[in-house]
């Protein structure tokens, strides 16, 4: 194809490759980079982000976008053009100098957080976080003006295109009202049963790594297109053709690392399943973080904490850890994996209490962006929120406002996508089982192909051709329905 649209595809392919280089540097920063390279890496990332920004802010781009709209395009090309325009709007709202300053501030703050978190030293990182927050407010204001949204929605749009505070508030307020009863009900049902037994450790890191790799492979992770490494904060990064997963290990509890790996494997399967024909084009990228998080939570929560999965996985775990006896039965491991507790740390939280962690962060970051809350007051506000939502309070900042990397790394507006993703995961898995009733039985045999095939057809392979809402409606027949998520929690935790 020739013309303006063809020119745009070439330009955005180059942009996509630059962004992939940034992704690989980010992975290396978290997993491999020596501490002394932090300053140089911050400069490298800032420069590449300026290059990407300048490509999007090219003054010739608006004319090309307008001219391409008059080209004869198919449905995928029209969707690609719409995504190009959305990215251009975001980029042109923010000057390159602010992009560079923001990138460097986030890199410096993240590296400081890596020391502050284990040291429980919020005071040491607060000035750097203040710099990130100040710049985030600048970016949010500039983008809000360009996009015609509120500042917080402008940040949210980077992760959840088209996301609106009113809809999130409606869903989250509804859920927050019901969470106390759900948590109490789950705890009561749990107390009425004999407590599950914990397999005796220690669990050597190498054995955990072997177990993780075996389960990842059965789920569909391709190790010729990815890696599993170690980092302070578990994540999935890299590119669709080179997916990088990290986790952190605890030799006293193999489940912490393993469930983190399975969560990130869900992200990885989504990335690998994105439409290869549209690689390095905006329409070929993931459709926002609620869909992305739905894929990780569908695997981790809907599938890998199910009885069917444990029927398959229990023998694998016994083999990897040399386990035997009643603690290693599928039913006991299921009871352990669905244990409910009023925990302090989000990444270790169970499925019932997890939404409370997310709702708290969402409310706090909205207040911080709106200057209704200052960073000096964040630890106290965090403790108050935990008391309100979960009836527990962190004993220190390491278990409070230092526990997540997101704000220190500049990911403001990201947190609500976790619980939006959990709701979406429940709805997608419900639809998948109705469409393919053989899925649960296949999982019990360690066969994940029926589920993965359905996800590839209904979610992964669509990339960003449709909005998150449209993807969900096409796959399940309705927009996001919190009642499906609530019903799932009740069946698993109150009735089981």
Q: For residue 310, is it within any domain? A: no
CA 443 to chain centre: 24
Interatomic CA distance for residues 33 and 27, integer angstroms: 9
In a domain, 283, yes or no: no
Number of Cβ within a 10 Å radius of residue 387? 12
pLDDT tens track, the chain, 496 positions: 669 999 999 999 999 999 999 999 999 998 999 989 999 998 999 899 889 999 998 999 999 999 999 999 999 999 999 999 999 999 899 988 998 899 999 999 999 999 999 999 999 999 999 999 999 999 999 999 999 999 999 999 999 999 999 999 999 999 999 999 999 999 999 999 999 999 998 999 999 999 999 999 999 999 999 999 998 778 899 999 999 999 999 999 999 999 999 999 999 999 999 999 999 999 999 999 999 999 999 999 999 999 999 999 999 999 999 999 999 999 999 999 999 999 999 988 999 999 999 999 999 999 999 999 999 999 999 999 999 999 999 999 999 999 999 999 999 999 999 999 999 999 999 999 999 999 999 999 999 999 999 999 999 999 999 999 999 999 999 999 989 999 999 999 998 6
Write b or e for each residue in 274-290: b if 16 or more Cβ atoms lie within 10 A of its Cβ, otherwise e: bbeebbbbbbbbbbbbb
Q: Has residue 23 been placed in a domain?
A: yes
State residue 1's pLDDT score. 63
Asked if the structure places residue 62 within a domain, the reply is yes
- In this structure, are residues 333 and 470 in contact, taking their beta carbons and an 8 Å threshold? no
Distances (CA, A) of 275 to 79, 283, 291, 301, 453: 13, 9, 15, 25, 14
Q: How far apart are CA 430 and CA 450, in angstroms?
A: 14
Coil/strand/helix, residue 79 = helix
Residue 242, classed as helix, strand or coil, is strand
Is residue 167 included in any domain, yes or no? no
Distance (Å) of CA 467 to CA 109, 169, 298: 33, 20, 19
The 3-state DSSP class for residue 201 equals: coil
Q: Is residue 98 part of a domain?
A: yes
C-alpha dist (Å) from residue 437 to 429, 440, 451: 11, 7, 10
**What value does the CA radius of gyration of the chain take, rounded to a whole number of Å?**
22
The catalytic residue positions are 264
Does residue 400 form part of some domain? no
Q: Which residue has the tokens 């890596």?
A: 114
Query: What pLDDT score was predicted for residue 496?
Result: 60
Give me the number of domains the chain comprises.
1
SS3 of 357, please? helix
Of 448, 425, 284, the residue nearest 355 (C-alpha): 425
Residue 117 belongs to what domain range? 4-158
**In terms of Cα–Cα distance, which of 272, 349, 345 is closest to 305?**
349
Give the span between the Cα atoms of 426 and 305, in whole angstroms: 13
Report whether 448 contacts 219 (CB < 8 A): yes
- Quote the pLDDT of residue 214: 98
Structural domain includes residue 123: yes
The token pair at 475 is 């796959």
Sign of the alpha-carbon dihedral angle for 283, 426, 383, 166:
positive
């Amino acid at each position: 194809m020739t013309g303006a649209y063809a020119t745009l595809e070439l330009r955005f392919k180059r942009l996509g490759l630059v962004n992939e280089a940034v992704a690989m540097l980010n992975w290396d920063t978290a997993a491999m980079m020596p501490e002394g390279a932090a300053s140089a890496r911050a400069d490298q990332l800032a420069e590449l982000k300026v290059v990407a920004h300048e490509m999007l802010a090219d003054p010739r781009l608006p004319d090309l976008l307008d001219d391409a709209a008059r080209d004869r395009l198919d449905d995928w090309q029209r969707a690609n053009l719409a995504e190009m325009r959305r990215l251009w709007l975001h980029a042109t709202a923010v000057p390159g100098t602010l992009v560079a300053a923001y990138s460097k501030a986030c890199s410096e703050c993240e590296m400081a957080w890596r020391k502050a978190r284990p040291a429980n030293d919020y005071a040491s990182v607060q000035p750097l976080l203040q710099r990130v927050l100040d710049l985030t407010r600048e970016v949010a204001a500039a983008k809000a003006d360009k996009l015609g949204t509120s500042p917080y929605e402008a940040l949210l749009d980077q992760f959840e295109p088209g996301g609106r505070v009113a809809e999130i508030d409606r869903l989250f307020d509804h859920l927050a009202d019901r969470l106390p009863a759900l948590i109490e009900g789950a705890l009561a049902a749990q107390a009425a049963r004999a407590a599950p037994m914990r397999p005796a450790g220690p669990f050597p890191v190498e054995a955990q790594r072997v177990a993780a790799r075996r389960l990842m492979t059965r789920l569909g992770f391709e190790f010729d297109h990815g890696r599993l490494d170690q980092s302070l904060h578990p994540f999935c990064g890299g590119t669709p053709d080179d997916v990088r997963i990290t986790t952190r290990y605890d030799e006293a509890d193999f489940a912490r690392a393993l469930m983190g790996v399975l969560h990130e494997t869900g992200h990885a399967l989504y990335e690998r399943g994105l439409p290869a024909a549209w690689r390095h084009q905006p329409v070929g990228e993931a459709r926002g973080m609620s869909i992305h998080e739905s894929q990780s939570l569908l695997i981790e929560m809907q599938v890998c904490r199910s009885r069917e999965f444990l029927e398959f996985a229990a023998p694998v775990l016994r083999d990897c850890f040399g386990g035997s006896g009643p603690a290693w039965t599928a039913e006991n491991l299921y009871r352990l994996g669905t244990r409910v507790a009023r925990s302090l740390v989000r990444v270790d939280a169970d499925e019932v209490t997890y939404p409370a962690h997310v709702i708290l962060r969402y409310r706090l970051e909205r207040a911080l962006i709106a200057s209704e809350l200052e960073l000096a007051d964040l630890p106290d506000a965090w403790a108050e929120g935990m008391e309100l939502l979960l009836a527990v309070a962190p004993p220190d900042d390491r278990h409070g406002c230092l526990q997540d990397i997101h704000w220190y790394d500049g990911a403001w507006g990201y947190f609500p996508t976790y619980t939006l993703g959990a709701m979406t995961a429940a709805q997608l898995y419900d639809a998948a089982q109705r469409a393919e009733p053989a899925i649960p039985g296949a999982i019990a045999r360690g066969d994940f192909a029926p589920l993965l095939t359905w996800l590839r057809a209904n979610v992964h392979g669509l990339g960003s051709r449709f909005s998150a809402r449209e993807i969900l409606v096409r796959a399940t027949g309705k927009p996001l329905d919190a009642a499906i998520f609530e019903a799932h929690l009740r069946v698993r935790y109150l009735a089981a």
